[in-house]
Structure formats: C-alpha cells, structure tokens
Amino acid sequence: MIRQFSSTILFLVILSLAAAQPAAAQTNDVRSAREVITLMDKGEFKEITSMFDSTMKKAAPEERLRAIWTSLIGQTGELQQQLNDSTFQYGGYDIVIVTCKFQKSYLDVKVVFDKGGKVAGLFFLPHRTPEGGDTSGPTNGQQSGDSLTGHYVSQDVAFENEEAHITLAGTLTIPDSVGKFPAVLLIAGSGPHDRDETIFGHKPFLVLADYLTRHGIAVLRYDKRGVGKSTGDYAAATTTDFASDALAGVDYLMTLKAVDHGKIGLVGHSEGGMIAPVVADKSNHVAFIVLMAGPGVSGYRTILSQLALIDKASGLSDSAVAAAVSLEKKILRVVMTEKDSARAAATLRNILETEANQTPDAAEASIGQLLSPWYESFLAYDPAPALRKVKCPVLAIWGSKDLQVPPSENMPAMRKALKSGGNKSFKVVELQGLNHLFQDAQTGSPLEYGIIKETISPKALDVITNWILKETGKKN
C-alpha cells in the first residue's frame, strides 16, 4: 500500500521514483543542496524551510524536518562527511544527489529544485554503487539471521495470462533435491514492482524466496505487468487485473512436475494481501494463503488511517494531523463521487492549488494519480466479501508498528470476515516491533524503510515458513 503520504506531497513521491535524465551540473543547485544537508546537521530547520517552495513548506514544516532528522540519525549515527555529488534533470526540475557518510552507513541525499531554485523535494535513500549495489543493506537475499547452507535451483521463467494477452516474466526457485515440493506464488504490493518487490534499496521478495526455498518450498515471483520483462500496460491496470495475473501464475505452477499440485499457496504483501483472497476464490488449486500486512478495511479507510499515523509519527501536532486528514477527505470525496472526469479534474485542481498550495505542475501530477483506474478502484474496494469466501487455511500477519496498514484497524476486520465466512483454519498474528515491510523499526514511518539495513526480520521469515511447512505436512 505504497501511497504513503498525503496528496499535498504526492508529486514529490512520484518524482523520487521517476527515471531522471543526466544533465550538466548546476553549480548553484549543488551548493544549495550541500547547504541543506549542513543546516540539517546543525539543527537549523527553520533556515531550511526558507529555501522551500510553497508545497514543501506545507508538507515539511520545521517540526517535521526535526523529527525526520532525529529518526534518521537514530538509525545511521551522526553525519560525518559529505562526499561526491551528481546532478540530473526531470520534468523541468533539477535533482542533486549528495552521497553522505554517516557513522553506520552511507546514504544518498536527493534534493529537488524547481525552476526558481527553490527546494521542491528532499529524500534520504540507500547509497547506490556505480554497479547498482546498495552499500547500506543486505544483498543477494542474505541478511542477519539467515544462516542456512542449503542449495537450490533458480531460473528465469515466463508464463501467459491468456485472458489479458500478456506475458509475465519471473524467477522460479526450486529446492535442489529429488521429489515434489510445496510451492508459493509471491504477490507484490501496490506500485510498479519488479519480481523482487524492490523498494528503497531493499528486495523483500528476493529475501523471502531465498529463505522459503532453502526450507524446501518452491517459489515463483514475477515482474508486474508492464514492469521489467513483463508485457502489458501497468498504468491502465486495476487490482482486478493484477489478480488475473496472479491467477495465471497459479496455473503455471500447476504445469510444473517438481511442484506438488495439491500444495500450492499464495503469499501476498500489502495490496497483494487483497489480491490473494480473490485468487483463492477463483482457483481450485490454492491450498493456503499468507497475507502480509493485508488490508481488512476499504482502501478509503486505509488511506486516511495511514495519512494520520504517518503524519503523527513525523512529529506533526494533533491539529495539523486533523487538518491534513480533513483535506484528504475532501480530495477523496471528489475522486469517489464525481463521475465526469473533466469536472473531477477541475475540482481537484482548485483544491490542490488553493488549499494544498501545490504548484500547477504538481497539481497536474497529483490529479493524474488520483484519477487513475487503479486508484479509483482501490478507494472503493472492500476486502471483506472476498475474505468471507476463503475456505483454505489462512495466515495473516502484521507488524505492530505498521503505519500503512495498521493492525489495530485491520486485524479485527479481517478476523471478523474470515470467521463470518465460516473459515475453520485461520491464524492472525501481530509481530511486535515490525513495520509495514516487516523490518525491525523504531517508529514504523516509511521514512525509515531505506535507512534500516534489515530487509525482513527473521521473526517474520520464521513465522511464515514454519506455518507453511506445518500446513503442507513438510518437516523443517
């Protein structure tokens, strides 16, 4: 569920994930970016806000900046040195990336400047080496707690979604031993994820697939449609379309001789936890499902909850959080009730520019996301009906510090839906200290995701693996 901030700064999130184009270094921008970092280190947050454009001033006031920096150095240690820098351009914005050395790791600080030289975005990301490696976290599926020595076979595969006329590309890992194995299909959360569900320098599905396969479970993970080597149009797809892709993945596993066709399961993370119950209802071949931070309430409620919790964790006052939620409700009401797209866009444009203080370019980018087929369908989606239809065994887990799909709201809703549907075999678990990505976290804020070195806590890996082994009758 990675629409993790309010609409007022949605454009900045999009910008941070977009592909930038190299450009000649802008001396003034580089100097300003380094000054922002220096001022953060000195605790002069009010001085930094004077360099912000109107959107950033509203999205990241002094109190929020202070909370962000405090959380960051709590994870990385004190800033020791600003190293090399590089400059890019995207959509009329200049982007400066300064590699910084902290006590415990290296981070890339990305500062975005508008045409007038004002700061339009500020991000802290794991440092990427020239070869694409991440110097701040685990690589190749290895992390603390993974001490297994088993071997397995890994191969690139492709399977067809004949209904959609697309090809999904992925990776299949199979234990390197004789026999037929239980198998799981990994279903990623919202966003244009590759087969590893790569996010903020981490590869959660790579780590999960590695761990499961070393314990004797075959795993299929795949690039979303229109992402990586998969064909199709990601931007035009809805959750229903992604469920169709997952269903095709189950059908593919049914063709494999190394897979025990009576022990095929689904592991869905975040939005994948919405998709898995739909697939389990449509397929006769799903024997069990694991829901990792799956929502039990509607998309509308999820968006409002995560907005309030993330803003609160970022240090905003109760009144500021209430104001942000009120504005978000107003925006979402337009998306959910105005059926004429032109009128919806005009109304949203007025709200975003006058009340959210977005620039015209930022407002247009936000409108494009808010009125996308996926987002409109997500807001209206209620997972309860699909959950009530699930009769196979279910393991549902959340991290206690998940601010995006909070357990306090979603655990009881999911438990109620499964119970009312007559499911006789489900387990609902809250894992203490873990965030939405199932990392051991301090606050649970998405701001920590890229700073934490751990990709998935061994606690989560063990709970998932042991439950699957028990359900499939396989010895650990």
Q: What is the pLDDT of residues 235-248, one digit of tens each?
A: 899 999 999 999 99
Q: Are 81 and 190 in the same domain?
A: no
d(CA 321, CA 310): 9
Residue 88 C-alpha from the chain's centroid = 25
**What pLDDT is attached to residue 357?**
78
Q: What is the pLDDT of residues 365-399, one digit of tens each?
A: 889 889 999 999 999 999 999 999 999 999 999 99
Confidence of residue 4 (pLDDT cuts 50, 70, 90): very low
Of 187, 194, 204, the C-alpha closest to 273 is: 187
Q: Are 115 and 164 in the same domain?
A: no
Walk across the sheet containing 79-90 and list its strands: 21-22, 79-90, 93-102, 106-113, 119-126
Confidence of residue 7 (pLDDT cuts 50, 70, 90): very low
Q: Are 388 and 459 in the same domain?
A: yes
Q: Domain of 219: which CATH number? A: 3.40.50.1820
Q: Which DSSP category does 24 fall into?
A: -
Q: Are 191 and 79 in the same domain?
A: no
Of 461, 433, 438, the C-alpha closest to 449 is: 438
Q: Are 19 and 95 in the same domain?
A: yes
Region 224-241 average pLDDT: 95
Q: How many other C-beta atoms are found inside a 10 Å radius of the C-beta of residue 372?
A: 16
Residue 363 in domain: no
Q: Which DSSP category does 151 fall into?
A: -
Q: What is the pLDDT of residues 306-341, one digit of tens each?
A: 989 988 877 778 888 899 899 999 999 999 999 999
Q: Are 266 and 398 in the same domain?
A: yes
Residue 457 in domain: yes
Residue 268 in domain: yes
Q: Are 121 and 159 in the same domain?
A: no
Segment of 26-30, 189-193, 283-287 carrying the highest mean pLDDT: 283-287
Residue 43 in domain: yes
d(CA 429, CA 427): 6
Q: Which of 126, 144, 179 finishes a domain?
A: 126
Q: What is the pLDDT of residues 246-255, one digit of tens each?
A: 999 999 999 9
Among 40-49, 145-154, 280-289, 446-455, the minimum mean pLDDT is found in: 145-154
Residue 136 in domain: no
Q: Which DSSP category does 9 fall into?
A: G
Full residue range of the structural domain in which residue 292 is found: 152-297+382-471
**Angle subtended at Cα 239 by Cα 371 and Cα 360, rounded to the nearest 5 degrees:** 20
Query: Which residue is it, tokens 């009401």?
Result: 333
Residue 203 in domain: yes
Tokens of residue 355, six digits:
């009340």
Query: What total number of domains does the chain contain?
Result: 2
Run of H or E residues at 394 = strand 394-399
Confidence of residue 363 (pLDDT cuts 50, 70, 90): confident
Query: Which residue is it, tokens 């007025």?
Result: 350
Residue 135 in domain: no
Q: Which of 109, 126, 143 finishes a domain?
A: 126
Return phi, psi of residue 280, to 5°. Answer: -60, -35
Q: Domain of 62: which CATH number? A: 3.10.450.590
Of 185, 269, 219, the C-alpha closest to 439 is: 269
Q: Are 280 and 388 in the same domain?
A: yes
Contact 288, 393 (CB under 8 A): yes
Among 9-18, 148-157, 171-180, the minimum mean pLDDT is found in: 9-18
Q: Are 181 and 267 in the same domain?
A: yes
Q: Are 122 and 158 in the same domain?
A: no
Residues 6 or more apart in contact with residue 48 via CB below 8 angstroms: 36, 39, 40, 65, 119
The more confidently predicted of residues 149 and 184 is: 184
Residue 19 in domain: yes
Q: Are 89 and 188 in the same domain?
A: no
Region 200-229 average pLDDT: 94
Confidence of residue 88 (pLDDT cuts 50, 70, 90): confident
The three-class DSSP label of residue 412 is helix
Q: What is the pLDDT of residues 260-272, one digit of tens each?
A: 999 999 999 999 9
Q: Is residue 175 predicted with pLDDT exceeding 50?
A: yes
Q: Are 55 and 118 in the same domain?
A: yes
